[in-house]
């Protein structure tokens, strides 16, 4: 078989594995217990590798907040000195099979979701969602942030873990893929709109919370939190997407992207047929809708691991399924439709299980192909939240962003070198 045939065969296999994967939510645990290599003072972050000296404001703020949460520091000033001292190890979430929205910071004592795909053996993780605004993942670290993190790490974590234990008496785990599939037909894109997905999750899990015998006050608190935070299930959706991407990673000759992530300074991709090598470019600017009192000049460049949703074939690539998202990220319903149509130009397949009602139930664009990106000049379009460029402030809006072409050209060049072309 010639190289072209090998590439087509490899790409078909990659996207087939991604689509066929059915990761189940099977457990929760502390990051130090679940993630290999989380030893001592190790913090994980979103995006490609980066040292403290090059970190953006929101990533620095989240690191400082995590140091306080862990008890390694008692004030922001102490946390900043510790982070700069070299005594904290920083590693990408993706190097541990993990993903985190925005700053993506995961510390050893933080609980994580664990999802497992039996077909491929892929196992992935994500932390818990705090809600919107002044939260750790957007770079805030104050007392209110710490209080919420402690509640998530105790009351919410224990209630969810107990409920999952009850669910697993009846079945192997919860398929969040099934929830994504249904939510896409109910107006979600499952990146920046999780209204339907979180509602479906609540309906699924609350009976198991009661069955687990959780105290009435705890059940009420956890239910109220989930009901008031449509993004409760974002992190579980991201872990599901990460497992799907892992199922398609490492296929020789494949030109399909299996990681897209941003750390607030750089954006990076990894390609199935090129192992774990990163190809990076400066993080782009978000065109957004701003909270009162803020504007584009306050915004940090794009940040987060949440583009794993688009990598797996939903999120911003499925915006045509979620026209109401425009009220959150800006644009118009026709723009949402156009973005999805454009993404078909750079992807290898239409998803078999994720469909878009407004496009006569066509499958979502799935499997970004670096060859098609370079050939067409079209790069991935996603939707995202926006963090203030200064540490400690938090979220200031949401919007749309276009990935830089440079890293796709670098990846194609790297592919040519790797395969002797």
CATH number at residue 296: 3.90.1700.10
Task: Decide if 331 is inside a domain.
Answer: yes
Task: Decide if 109 is inside a domain.
Answer: yes
pLDDT of amino acid 214: 63
Last residue of a domain, one of 189, 207, 237: 237
Task: Decide if 351 is inside a domain.
Answer: yes
Query: Domain range for residue 113?
Result: 21-237
pLDDT average, residue stretch 180-206: 97
C-alpha neighbours within 13 Å on the C-beta side of residue 47: 25
Does 25 score more than 70 pLDDT?
yes
Does 39 score more than 90 pLDDT?
no
pLDDT average, residue stretch 41-57: 98
pLDDT average, residue stretch 369-393: 97
Q: Could you tell me what percentage of the chain is helix, strand and coil, using 3-state DSSP and rounding each to the nearest 5? A: 45, 20, 30
Last residue of a domain, one of 207, 237, 267: 237
Task: Please report which residue ranges of 261-377 form alpha helices under DSSP H.
Answer: 308-311, 326-329, 333-343, 370-376
Same domain, 343 and 401: yes
Q: Is the dihedral of CA 339, 368, 257, 197 positive or negative?
A: positive
pLDDT of amino acid 330: 82
pLDDT of amino acid 112: 98
Task: Decide if 283 is inside a domain.
Answer: yes
SS3 assignment, position 217: helix
Task: Decide if 6 is inside a domain.
Answer: no
Q: Give the integer Cα–Cα distance in Å for 229 and 241.
A: 20
Same domain, 52 and 158: yes
Same domain, 122 and 170: yes
Same domain, 179 and 64: yes
Does 56 score more than 90 pLDDT?
yes
Looking at residue 313, the DSSP 8-state letter turns out to be: T
Q: Give the integer Cα–Cα distance in Å for 14 and 6.
A: 12
Task: Decide if 2 is inside a domain.
Answer: no
pLDDT of amino acid 171: 97
Same domain, 167 and 284: no
Same domain, 299 and 398: yes
Bridge partner residues of 114 (DSSP):
27, 125
pLDDT average, residue stretch 93-121: 97
pLDDT average, residue stretch 67-84: 98
pLDDT average, residue stretch 148-157: 97
> Residue 112: enclosing H or E segment and its boundaries?
strand 111-116
Does 218 score more than 90 pLDDT?
no
The residue among 338, 310, 335, 413 whose CA lies nearest residue 370 is: 413
Sheet holding 381-387, edge to edge: 287-290, 395-402, 381-387
Last residue of a domain, one of 211, 237, 263: 237
Confidence of residue 215 (pLDDT cuts 50, 70, 90): low
Confidence of residue 420 (pLDDT cuts 50, 70, 90): confident
Same domain, 73 and 134: yes
CATH number of the CATH domain containing 153: 3.90.1710.10
Share above pLDDT 70 across residues of the chain, in percent, rounded to a whole number: 100
pLDDT of amino acid 157: 97
* DSSP-assigned letters across all residues of 135-151: -GGGT--SHHHHHHHHH
Same domain, 43 and 147: yes
Same domain, 221 and 269: no
Does 328 score more than 90 pLDDT?
no
Number of structural domains found in the chain: 2
Task: Decide if 53 is inside a domain.
Answer: yes
Confidence of residue 2 (pLDDT cuts 50, 70, 90): confident
Burial of 126: CB neighbours in 10 Å, binned 0-12, 13-18, 19+: buried
Task: Decide if 229 is inside a domain.
Answer: yes
Does 333 score more than 80 pLDDT?
yes
């Amino acid at each position: 078989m010639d190289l072209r045939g090998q590439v087509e065969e490899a790409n078909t296999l990659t996207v087939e594995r991604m689509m066929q994967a059915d990761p189940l939510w099977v457990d929760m645990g502390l990051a130090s217990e679940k993630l290999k290599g989380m030893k001592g003072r190790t913090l994980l972050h979103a995006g490609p590798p980066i040292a403290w000296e090059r970190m953006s404001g929101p990533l620095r703020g989240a690191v400082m907040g995590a140091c306080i949460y862990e008890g390694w520091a008692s004030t922001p000033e102490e946390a900043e000195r510790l982070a700069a001292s070299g005594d904290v190890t920083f590693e990408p979430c993706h190097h541990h099979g993990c993903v985190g929205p925005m700053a993506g910071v995961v510390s050893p004592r933080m609980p994580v979701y664990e999802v497992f795909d039996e077909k491929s053996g892929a196992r992935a993780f994500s932390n818990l969602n705090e809600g919107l605004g002044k939260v750790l993942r957007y770079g805030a670290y104050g007392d209110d942030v710490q209080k919420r993190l402690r509640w998530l790490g105790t009351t919410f974590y224990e209630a969810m873990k107990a409920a999952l234990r009850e669910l697993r008496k009846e079945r192997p785990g919860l398929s969040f893929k099934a929830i994504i599939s249904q939510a896409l037909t109910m107006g979600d894109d499952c990146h920046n709109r999780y209204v339907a997905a979180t509602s479906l999750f609540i309906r699924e899990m609350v009976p198991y919370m009661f069955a687990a015998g959780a105290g009435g006050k705890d059940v009420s608190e956890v239910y109220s939190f989930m009901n008031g935070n449509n993004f409760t299930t974002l992190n579980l959706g991201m872990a599901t997407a990460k497992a799907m991407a892992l199922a398609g990673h490492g296929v020789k000759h494949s030109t399909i992207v299996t990681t897209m992530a941003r750390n607030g300074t750089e954006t990076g991709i990894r390609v199935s047929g090129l192992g774990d090598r990163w190809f990076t470019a400066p993080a782009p600017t978000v065109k957004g809708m701003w909270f009162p009192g803020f504007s584009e000049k306050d915004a940090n460049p794009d940040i987060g691991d949440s583009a794993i949703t688009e990598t797996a074939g939903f999120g911003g690539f499925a915006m045509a399924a979620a026209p109401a998202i425009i009220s959150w990220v800006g644009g118009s319903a026709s723009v949402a439709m156009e973005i999805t149509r454009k993404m078909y130009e750079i992807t290898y397949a239409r998803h078999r299980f994720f469909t878009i009602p407004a496009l006569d139930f066509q499958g979502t664009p799935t499997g970004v192909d670096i060859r098609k990106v370079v050939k067409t000049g079209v790069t991935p379009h996603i939707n995202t939240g926006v963090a203030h460029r200064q540490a400690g402030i938090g979220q200031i809006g949401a919007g749309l962003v276009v990935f830089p072409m440079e890293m796709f050209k670098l990846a194609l060049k790297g592919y040519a070198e790797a395969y002797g072309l």
